[in-house]
Amino acid sequence: MNEKLQIVEYYSSDDWAHWLSEINKSDWRAGEYLHELIRKNELKKLCGERTKVLLLTDKDRLLSFCTYAEQDDVRDPSLTPWAGFVYTFPEFRGKHFVGRLLEYASGLARKDGHEYLYISTGETGLYEKYGFTFWKQMKDVNGEESRIYRKRTDVAIRMLHEDEKDLLKDFLYEAIYIPEGVEPPPKDIIFQPELRLYYENFGTDPADNCIVAEDQGRVIGAVWTRIMNDYGHVDDETPSFAISLYKEYRGKGIGTKLMKEMLALLKEQGYGTASLAVQKANYAVKMYKNVGFKTVDENAEEYIMVCEL
């Protein structure tokens, strides 16, 4: 299977008939019901005109789907939006594909100005692994008890997926500090030997970790570690840090969240220290100090910083 997966919004696609036929292949009664609602143009009448059907696809194959809707089977106008009709085809289960759709739905909810995304379900222990927490029991439209889960719609923090490793090249370029008024270097600078070590064969060493920030299905920031002979190298037992975010997401506390998550992960893995190098003029120096890094060495341009875990 091609791991270049894509999230398609059904009503915005140019192949409704194909995706509708794919939904109809599900072996799930609720999936059959969703198919009929879409086919009869009744889904938006039932769940709200802004309802979306989110499809996780691999080329022309449907792997998983869910809805993002104003209303679900629990009718309370004060609670919105809802993820519903959550389904993954049997052969693709265990890969957390549903998590990608739910993070995308969470990003939509945040974009729409909502603090929470809700799910009504009879399941226990399923949605917790995707960041949802049980809120309370409520009655659905049939008068039956339903468990209501909700998830805050902050930018999602998660581990890098296997098929996303090429993103490290993009974020390595974004990590290059460019002083005000200085022309950015060419993109191919990341192929220089001293920079390739940040991403080549990533994932082959126990200290190779990467945590990303995701907004509406798009990875917008990353922090990663390796034991490597980079600018921040202090010894062969200490992972070195690299971190960057796209410019429009800087200064919002996302970098701090990523750093704290990575430091906690490294401590859990048994490492005693972490290190990094940073340009003295870089605004991120303050953030590094705030999460526990201290300067142990310096040269004319950079600080070498270490955090005791």
Structure tokens at 217: 């299905």
Confidence at residue 172, expressed as pLDDT on a 0 to 100 scale: 96
Does the structure show a pLDDT above 70 at 135? yes
Q: Which residue in the block uniquely carries the two structure tokens 């993002």?
A: 68
pLDDT 10s digits, 90-109? 999 999 899 999 999 998 99
For the whole model, what pTM was predicted? 0.66
Query: Is residue 19 within 8 Å of 64, Cβ to Cβ?
Result: no
> What band does 3 get if pLDDT is binned at 50, 70 and 90?
low
pLDDT 10s digits, 246-285? 999 998 899 999 999 999 999 999 999 999 999 999 989 9
Number of domains making up the chain: 2
Domain boundary among 133, 154, 175: 154
Q: Is residue 1 part of a domain?
A: no
Domain boundary among 154, 171, 194: 154
Domain boundary among 109, 137, 154: 154
Confidence at residue 114, expressed as pLDDT on a 0 to 100 scale: 95
Identify the sign of the CA torsion 262, 263, 266, 271.
positive
Do residues 251 and 116 both lie within one domain? no
Instruction: Find the domain containing 69 and state its range.
Output: 6-154
Which distant-in-sequence residues (6+ apart) come within 8 Å of 54 by Cβ? 7, 8, 9, 10, 65, 66, 67, 68, 101, 104, 105
Confidence at residue 286, expressed as pLDDT on a 0 to 100 scale: 94
Tell me the CA distances in angstroms from 95 to 68, 89, 103, 109, 163, one per residue in order.
21, 11, 14, 24, 12
Q: Which residue in the block uniquely carries the two structure tokens 């870089």?
A: 282
Do residues 165 and 303 both lie within one domain? yes
Task: Please state, in angstroms and rounded to a whole number, the distance separating the CA atoms of residues 27 and 221.
Answer: 37
Do residues 170 and 296 both lie within one domain? yes
Rounded mean pLDDT of 146-151? 97
Does the structure show a pLDDT above 70 at 2? no
Query: Is residue 146 within 8 Å of 76, Cβ to Cβ?
Result: no
Query: Is residue 243 within 8 Å of 267, Cβ to Cβ?
Result: no
Does the structure show a pLDDT above 60 at 1? no
Do residues 147 and 176 both lie within one domain? no
- CATH at 262: 3.40.630.30
Do residues 233 and 273 both lie within one domain? yes
Higher per-residue confidence, 3 vs 43: 43
What does the DSSP 8-state code read for residue 162? G
Task: Please state, in angstroms and rounded to a whole number, the distance separating the CA atoms of residues 97 and 25.
Answer: 17
Average confidence score pLDDT of the chain = 94
Do residues 136 and 167 both lie within one domain? no
Task: Please state, in angstroms and rounded to a whole number, the distance separating the CA atoms of residues 64 and 58.
Answer: 10
Nearest to 237 by CA among 160, 306, 168, 159: 306
